[in-house]
Structure 1
Amino acid sequence: MKTNVIQKIGQIGVPIKNIENAIEFYKDALGLPLLFSTDSMAFFECNGQRLLLSLPEKKEFATSSSVIYFQVEDIKIAYEELIEKGVPFIDQPHVVAKMENTETWMTFFNDTEGNTHALICEVQI
């Protein structure tokens, strides 16, 4: 008997309160390509992963989302570029893990809707 085995994540949903503010932030500040939007939803492309911003259908879905870790090539450059675009960071880029020849760097920020996300970068040392 064949079982349904999860193969990949098809979409990540983030609850929002204001569609216009959210679209502006994810498109203009973060630079994600907007695929399309409606009055209550916006779909973005992130290197093969679809990101859905949506007004919650029910009150119980109106809480903030899980942290999305956006991978970048150079976290210090990405941090500076996003600071210039007004992205509100919670902290500065810092090492969170060291494994043999690799350091993992992160920095956390908030979107316009109160959701916390992060930049992540793996650096060969």
Structure 2
Amino acid sequence: MALGPLGQIHLTVTDLDRSVAFYRDVLGIPLMFVVPGQPMAFFMSGEVRLYLGKPESPEFVTRSMLYFWVEDIDAEFKRLSAAGVQMADEPHVVHRDDSIELWMSAFHDPDGHHLVLMQERPLP
């Protein structure tokens, strides 16, 4: 038996309201729901559910790195910068093969999780 596709990713957050505002309003990821009375919020990023939560015990604290596909990395870089997101680097090529270039640009969320924009560009 093999595992199915990735279904959900959990990120530990320290301030749920601040993180919900960042992922929903700045990054534009659709919010599914916030669990009433619980420090938990769920977003839908493509086919993968993103769970933001404050863990009840230290063994569930995570530090993660998320990569997001974008159609136009330069436009997304400009949009996030204009929204006040401190970008770690400008879009740049990280890999090239016979048919594509892979471009990336990194930044952090309010809790310091590493987030990266990714775009594949076909070679002319």
**What TM-score do the two structures reach when normalised by structure 2?**
0.93
Consecutive unaligned residues of structure 1, counting only runs of 5 or more, are: none
Aligned: 1:20 with 2:17: yes
Query: Percent of aligned pairs with the same residue?
Result: 38
Letter in 1 for 2:5: K
In the alignment, which residue of structure 2 is the partner of 1:47? 46
TM-superposed deviation, 1:82: 0.9
Runs of 4+ in 1 over 6 A off after TM superposition: none
Deviations 1:5-57 (A, max 9, x none): 11111101111110010000000000011000123111001112111101022
Moved more, 85-94 or 68-77: 85-94
Aligned: 1:6 with 2:3: yes
CA RMSD in angstroms, aligned pairs only: 1.0
Is the contact made by 1:88 and 1:111 (CA closer than 8 Å) also made in structure 2?
A: no
State the aligned residue count.
121
Letter in 2 for 1:83: S
Deviations 1:85-110 (A, max 9, x none): 11221111110000112000001100
**What TM-score do the two structures reach when normalised by structure 1?**
0.92
**Alpha-carbon separation, structure 2, partners of 1:57 and 1:108:** 29
